[in-house]
Amino acid sequence: MDHQDRFLPVPPGEFPFGPTPETRRIETPFWIGQYPVTRLEYARFKDHASYAEERWWDPAGWILCRDKGWQAPYGWDDEETQDPLLPVVGVSWFEARAYGRWLSDLLREAGWPGLENVPDHYTARLPTEMEWERAARGTDPRRYPWGDDPNRYQANMGPPGKGRITPVTAHPDGVSPVGAFDMVGNVWEWTLTSPDGRTRVTRGGSWFDLPEVANCFGQGQLNPSARNFPMWGFRVVIGPPCDEALA
């Protein structure tokens, strides 16, 4: 296992959700990726010919993959994104889903390395919007993973047009209460949640966004086929299987 395959435990329970916080509850424990998925991690999926294996893909994603001739994320060879510890960008929601299925097999076969007491039915997948915010915010209504002060030195965020993506380990002072890096800023992160049955929710903002958007409750919506570059990536959780229609 690569050293970046690190997951952090998140206990069940109540937490504040949204810009005017409402109490929500996570019913089951889960683990969240300490970092967004990196180029180094994603390369394993790409290099194992997983763009040619239908078993990892949603039906609609597989059709897109074949019709569009996808073989790697959009912009994979861009010279500014070659650092292996940069978050992978240019991935659609369908590619993120396929990666999760592939990673489930890899980690399950290895016995969930570094983790204890993972239930047999758990799987690696995208987080729901609620899981994402619980990991970013903890159990108090803070605006940012580190508190309420929009300190740009604690995350990679705007002003627009002045920056670029940074390695996922670059902001250790901005970790969330559970210890997750880059929960706001750097790249928007896909979630499983769909508000309308068509688009998918993205969370966290990016290097391009101001603190008014890059925070614990800022939300975007995007077509799952979009491969926006270089501002969209994703993070993985290990948790119970989740019906995307109910996420």
Structure tokens at 34: 């300490």
* Single pTM value for the model: 0.95
pLDDT at position 75 over 70:
yes
Structure tokens at 22: 């409402």
Mean of the pLDDT values across residues 218-240? Answer: 94
In the chain, DSSP finds a helix count (H) and a strand count (E) of 4, 10
Give the pLDDT band (50/70/90) at residue 219. Answer: very high
Pick the closest to residue 131 from 233, 244, 237, 20 (CA basis): 237
In a domain? residue 60? yes
What single letter denotes the amino acid at residue 211? P
- What pLDDT digit, counting tens, does each position of 177-195 carry? 999 999 999 999 999 999 9
- What pLDDT digit, counting tens, does each position of 118-176 carry? 999 999 999 999 999 999 999 999 999 999 999 878 999 988 777 899 999 999 999 99
Q: Report the share of the chain in percent with pLDDT over 70.
A: 96
In a domain? residue 2? no
Give the pLDDT band (50/70/90) at residue 247. Answer: low
* Residues paired with residue 13 on neighbouring β-strands, in sequence order: 26
- What pLDDT digit, counting tens, does each position of 82-109 carry? 999 999 999 999 999 999 999 999 999 9
Pick the closest to residue 68 from 225, 229, 228, 223 (CA basis): 225
In a domain? residue 58? yes
Please tell me which residue, 197 or 178, carries the higher pLDDT value: 178
In a domain? residue 162? yes
In a domain? residue 166? yes
Packed helices 59-68 and 93-109: angle between N→C axes, nearest 10 degrees: 110
For 235, left (φ over 0), alpha (ψ -120 to 50), or beta? beta
DSSP state of 34: S
In a domain? residue 23? no
In a domain? residue 192? yes
* Residues paired with residue 7 on neighbouring β-strands, in sequence order: 33
Handedness of CA 94, 212, 196, 181 (dihedral sign): positive
- What pLDDT digit, counting tens, does each position of 4-35 carry? 789 999 999 999 999 999 999 999 999 999 99
Pick the closest to residue 174 from 158, 207, 150, 190 (CA basis): 150
- Cα–Cα separations (whole angstroms), residue 100 to 42, 108, 162, 163: 10, 12, 32, 29
Pick the closest to residue 124 from 203, 17, 223, 240 (CA basis): 240
pLDDT, residue 30, reads 97
Pick the closest to residue 73 from 242, 227, 246 (CA basis): 227
Instruction: Specify the number of domains making up the chain.
Output: 1
pLDDT, residue 227, reads 95
Pick the closest to residue 234 from 242, 224, 244, 246 (CA basis): 224
Q: In whole angstroms, how large is the CA radius of gyration of the chain?
A: 17
pLDDT, residue 3, reads 53
Structure tokens at 2: 């690569």
Mean of the pLDDT values across residues 218-241? Answer: 94
In 103-136, which positions are buried (b, 16+ CB within 10 angstroms) versus exposed (e)? bbebbeeeebeebeebeeebbbbbbbbbbbbbbb
In a domain? residue 21? no
pLDDT at position 198 over 60:
yes
Enclosing domain of residue 54: 7-15+29-242
CATH code for position 184: 3.90.1580.10
